[in-house]
Structure 1
Amino acid sequence: MSTHTSATSSRSSLPPKSGTVAATADADDLGSLGYDQQLHRNLGRFASFAAGFSFVSILTTIFQLFGLGFGFGGPAFFWTWIVVFLGQYMVALCFAELSARYPVSGAIYQWSRRMGGEVLGWFGGWFMILAQIVTASAAAIAMQVVLPNIWSGFQIIGDDPALASPSGASNAVLLGAILLVVTTTINCLGVRWMSYVTTIGVICELVGVVAIIGVLFTHANRGPDVVFDTGASGGDGYIWAWIASGLMAAYVMVGFGSAGELAEETKNPRRVAPKTIRQALTLSALGGGLLIIGALMAAPSLTDGQLAEQGLPYVLNAVLSSPWGTVLLIDVAIAVLICTLAIQTAASRLMFSMARDGRLPASKRLAHVNSRTGTPILPSILVGVGCLLVLLVNVGNDAIFATLTSVCIILIYLAYLMVTGPLLVQRFKGWPGKRGEETDAEGRPLFTLGRIGVLVNALAVGYGALMVINLSWPRAEIYNPSGDMPWMQWAGPIAVAVCVLAGLVAFPWTKAHPRPVKVGE
């Protein structure tokens, strides 16, 4: 086993630590993995949970994507939510076990390189950075769906707020750009400020989710058995439509591992991160599932086409009076803010982690941490600028922007596979060794899957591979809805190939890793 194993094992008989002593123990623990404590370690358990929950952000994503799932599979698309949750929970369990043993920023990059080697680790990080930049842009553009409905004055450009219209697309970029400036500024101020904003935002989102679920269930027009209705898509070919409807859940339930990205800023991360990774996904899945059922029960109609076209806003506008509807929309706007902030934060920490190892261009500058804020400021700014550039695509062609956001989810699932795949191989070789002997900073045993580890891991790999195929499938409805650009149906495989080729060019082939690790330790 690696150096940290013996280091953590030697603490097993020590009493729990607090305050400065605990911070020193966490810093020493990080040192055993080869890194100095540069980032400020200010995050507690709830803040760690908030990072993952706000990345998933069910208010933001279900608000945007409900119509996608319903349009393909009708009410029975609900069951894809359960399937995706179970598959992603297998992945989350693997991440939880890894986060307990490697509590280092840049989680996907760090985990994949320690399980599969430097090349695989680098590409895992590369895919994840690209995906997070596009995902943050997609989250930011959601402000156009929300703010003009709160107050018409937010429609600054033109008078048509529809995202597909020229004025709506331009205004979406303007509102998204303003949001990105705000979130980038918060990131530059330090993790403490990020924590304050995210914590308050998550509390607001949780209250909003509970309130919406309550309203939907008290305005039901039909019973919960609606989830067995296949809608107009029923028939011999329904299974394919149902599989396609699963893209909605696949798009939503990602980013739950953000607690691992912030491990170097979390107190006692070996204990906290495994819990918050699982809690963020589980609570998101529970809340999202109830939102979907509630919307299906409360929708004025399931057959007039409005639910597929407008999604959740169609239902909410029908059941809420104007003042309460406005309050709800404000809550959704807060959710969009913290979702964008959480994604940017995760991306900047991943970029910092790779740069600290000299694996990116201008690594020395990217790895610099401001001593006052304890934040890698340049990565935060660079991620923000990258998001703005992606956002501009929506002005020229909103279909291409939508395609980009779909493709980036493929990259996330591939990055996850670059962790779970090599991890499964290492399990067959005996990973983790000294099971039950490793402890956290408080002397408690680390989270472990024990004997079911191989089964859980194998299910995670199988699920991930099937989902990559499902996400990449050349569906015209997803990648070329207008029918104007047939080549875009193959956007998934094409984009992955381009990212791989670009990665091969950017990979530091001539530079030795300054902190090499022995795979599997």
Structure 2
Amino acid sequence: MRDKELMSQEVGLDATTQDDWDMQRLGKTQQFKRNFRFYSILGFTTTLMATWESILLTSTYGLVDGGKAGMVYVYIASFVGFFAAVVSMAEIASISPTSGGQYHWVSEFAWPRYQRFLSYLTGWLSVLGWQAAFASICFLCGTLIQGLLVFNYSDPSGWVYGYERWHGTLLTIAIAAVGTVVNTWGYKILPPMEGLILAIHLGGFVAVLVLMWVMSPGKASDETVWKEFTNSGGWSSVGLACLVGQLTPIFSWTGPDAATHMAEEVQNAALVVPWCMVSTALINGALGFVMLVTLLYNMGPLTDAILAPASGFSFLPAVQRATGSIPATNGVAAIILVLEVCSAIGILATVSRQTFAFARDEALPFSKQLAHVNRRTQIPVCSVLVSTIITVLLSLINIGSTAAFNAVASVMIAALFTTYILPIAAVIRVRFQPGGIPPARFSLGSFGLAINVFSLAWLCFAIIFTFFPTANNPTLVSMNWSILVFGAVVIFAIALYILHGRRVYKAPVTQVRKVD
């Protein structure tokens, strides 16, 4: 028998009434303006993930571990698992469209005995994972600028750029400042701006694609692209190398839950947010694959100049080979840089809403301040500023050691993947309970259990390889220390729950109520 959540659609309740009903059921007070509609939130999430741009930026990992053919097949296989995870979370988001996202879902659907602790742990991992994502994207933009300077000014006969770590730190802070300005003073333009950014995202894709196909002096053979595997990392087998190379597509798909954390600012969220998640995955998945194949056909052979570029970015010498032009390469890099800065703006908005939601349930230190929403702007300004300050402080680590900063930033993928695993596992449990999961406006129907189980298996499998270094027998500098940082984060969250959280944390499930 359908409950009122589904009946509301049948009797013709408008979007505002549906959103009000959802907030009442979730036990939350509406504090934000619902400025986002489908196309603006689609632009927000599509450019936040920036898949085709990230495929180019992180291509080094896949080219070293797997090579051309390895990147193609790993991309396809990873996308299947990733898409299953996205649609699984989309269904849950339709049931509970709240900025809390995963930690709220765990609270609502996990084992009653453990839901409060697991929800608290999920919330901390989500907050810290998104915070690491913001620091990582700002640093990536900063190092891309440095990489471009190395790429253009490394001729000994002219001016040579001297690469300094503190330059990267200052550039990271500058990118974070841009994101902060747009998310505070520019709050009114953020929703309409996302439509423009989406146009640039798609237009930039076409421009880069045309440049590489038209200007390329020669194309690689089908044999090279589809059958030539590489194991430059020195792993025991090509298969293992390809699995380690998953980092390229996985990084490129980070953040499918971003729309969820903006749900309380989206009109008709229970329907728009899940469809936005699915649409984002399909659009970016297709664009990323086309860009990957374009790069592999036009980049030329894999040489040390590409596998170990002086700039740190394999796509710069690869695009130069494809176009035969340094100005064209700079143009491609400039497009990517602009779009990655736009991605940073979206990530800051996401982390600030996740921080706000978790603080609203009194889970964070200084929760009252972090959960405060400015009456005039209806923006959690304090959460935005704190997120920026944390990124600035983290960027200072880079002055002493880039490896140490990368260890902190790389915890992003493991932390966020864990927050996908826990709610999906909880929903699988509920499916076996009497009555099953609550009806949703976006439903997987009879395929739900199979899709949930498959996505859970893929996430558990993929997360293992996010802890691998890019090469076998790594040094202390090249070692992937994310497992250490991730373990420290989990221990910190557990200790904080014991000392503080179990006394004050208001688990969302205690506020959820039946609305007649």
TM-score norm. by structure 2 comes to 0.87
Mapped pair 1:504 → 2:490: no
Quick one: which of 388, 392, 408 aligns to 1:388?
A: 392
Q: How does 1:5-154 map to 2 (within 5 A)?
A: 6-15=3-12, 17=14, 22-77=15-70, 78-116=72-110, 117-147=115-145
Q: Aligned partner of 1:425: which letter?
A: R
Name the structure 1 match of 2:454: 459
Q: Aligned partner of 1:294: which letter?
A: T
Q: How far does residue 79 in structure 1 lie from its aligned partner after superposition?
A: 1.1
Q: 2:93 touches 2:260 (CA, 8 Å); kept in 1?
A: yes
Q: 1:96 touches 1:275 (CA, 8 Å); kept in 2?
A: yes
Q: How far does residue 277 in structure 1 lie from its aligned partner after superposition?
A: 0.3
Mapped pair 1:231 → 2:218: no
Mapped pair 1:199 → 2:195: yes
Q: How far does residue 512 in structure 1 lie from its aligned partner after superposition?
A: 5.5
Residues in 2 aligned to 1:511 and 1:231: alpha-carbon distance in whole angstroms: 53
CA separation of 1:306/1:325 partners in 2, compared to 1, >3 Å: closer, same or farther? Answer: closer
Q: 1:60 touches 1:139 (CA, 8 Å); kept in 2?
A: no
Name the structure 1 match of 2:444: 449
Structure 2, unaligned runs of 5 or more: 154-158
Name the structure 2 match of 1:178: 174
Q: 2:69 touches 2:229 (CA, 8 Å); kept in 1?
A: yes
Mapped pair 1:428 → 2:432: yes
SS of alignment partner, residue 410 of structure 2: helix
Residues in 2 aligned to 1:493 and 1:423: alpha-carbon distance in whole angstroms: 27
Q: Aligned partner of 1:314: which letter?
A: P
Residues in 2 aligned to 1:190 and 1:109: alpha-carbon distance in whole angstroms: 29
Name the structure 2 match of 1:209: 205
Name the structure 1 match of 2:485: 495
Q: 2:25 touches 2:512 (CA, 8 Å); kept in 1?
A: no
Count the aligned residue pairs. Answer: 492
Q: Aligned partner of 1:417: which letter?
A: I
Quick one: which of 351, 355, 361 aligns to 1:351?
A: 355
Deviations 1:319-361 (A, max 9, x none): 3435544433332121111111111111111111111111111
Q: How far does residue 367 in structure 1 lie from its aligned partner after superposition?
A: 1.0
Q: 2:8 touches 2:18 (CA, 8 Å); kept in 1?
A: no
Higher deviation after alignment, 57-66 or 370-379: 57-66
After superposing on structure 2, the runs of 4+ consecutive aligned residues of structure 1 that deviate more than 6 Å are 149-152, 518-521
Residues in 2 aligned to 1:518 and 1:264: alpha-carbon distance in whole angstroms: 16
Q: 1:344 touches 1:380 (CA, 8 Å); kept in 2?
A: yes
Name the structure 1 match of 2:322: 319
Residues in 1 aligned to 2:161 and 2:277: alpha-carbon distance in whole angstroms: 36
Residues in 2 aligned to 1:228 and 1:56: alpha-carbon distance in whole angstroms: 29
Q: How far does residue 235 in structure 1 lie from its aligned partner after superposition?
A: 10
SS of alignment partner, residue 286 of structure 1: helix
Residues in 1 aligned to 2:247 and 2:93: alpha-carbon distance in whole angstroms: 27
Q: Aligned partner of 2:302: which letter?
A: L
Q: How far does residue 161 in structure 1 lie from its aligned partner after superposition?
A: 5.4
Deviations 1:79-99 (A, max 9, x none): 111111111111101111011
Residues in 2 aligned to 1:198 and 1:121: alpha-carbon distance in whole angstroms: 31
What do you get for the CA RMSD once the two structures are aligned? 2.9
SS of alignment partner, residue 30 of structure 2: coil
Residues in 1 aligned to 2:209 and 2:129: alpha-carbon distance in whole angstroms: 31
Q: Aligned partner of 1:121: which letter?
A: S
Q: Aligned partner of 2:108: which letter?
A: R
Q: How far does residue 419 in structure 1 lie from its aligned partner after superposition?
A: 1.5
Q: 2:52 touches 2:287 (CA, 8 Å); kept in 1?
A: no
CA separation of 1:511/1:202 partners in 2, compared to 1, >3 Å: closer, same or farther? Answer: same
SS of alignment partner, residue 246 of structure 2: helix
> Kindly, what percent of the aligned residue pairs are identical?
21
SS of alignment partner, residue 103 of structure 1: coil
Residues in 1 aligned to 2:166 and 2:273: alpha-carbon distance in whole angstroms: 39
Q: 2:363 touches 2:505 (CA, 8 Å); kept in 1?
A: no
SS of alignment partner, residue 245 of structure 2: helix
SS of alignment partner, residue 12 of structure 1: helix
Q: How far does residue 318 in structure 1 lie from its aligned partner after superposition?
A: 2.7
Residues in 2 aligned to 1:456 and 1:269: alpha-carbon distance in whole angstroms: 23
Q: Aligned partner of 1:295: which letter?
A: L
Deviations 1:167-215 (A, max 9, x none): 1x22121111111011112212365432234332232122111222233
Q: 1:190 touches 1:374 (CA, 8 Å); kept in 2?
A: no
Structure 1, unaligned runs of 5 or more: 439-445
TM-score norm. by structure 1 comes to 0.87
Q: How far does residue 107 in structure 1 lie from its aligned partner after superposition?
A: 1.0
Q: 2:305 touches 2:317 (CA, 8 Å); kept in 1?
A: no
Q: Aligned partner of 1:127: which letter?
A: L
